[in-house]
Amino acid sequence: MKKSADPSQWDDNDWAYHNKQVSEWNKIEWENVYSLYCASQLWELESPIEFDEFKKQMKEDVEFARENKLKPGMESSDYNAWL
């Protein structure tokens, strides 16, 4: 079940997950965050950067990382960035 994208509906566990350090993310989380990033870029009619550049920016650019944090449900392999 997909968790709410609305932060006002998150509990303490959701917030802790949202604030998880990128150095602790697993492969599925990286893939899901990147998928959501790509979906948002398409929505804004912009070309997404490549995955390796995305990872680099997530680790080095605080503002970029703040905009692309984990959201509850992204730990699941069946997460769908389009829903």
d(CA 15, CA 45): 30
Exposure string of 52-83, with b = 16+ CB inside 10 Å and e = fewer, is: eebbeebeeeeeeeeebebbbbbbeeebebee
Q: Tens digits of per-residue pLDDT, 21-71?
A: 999 999 999 999 999 999 999 887 889 999 999 999 999 999 999 999 999
pLDDT reading at 1 higher than 50: no
d(CA 22, CA 12): 19
Q: Say what the pLDDT of residue 33 is.
A: 97
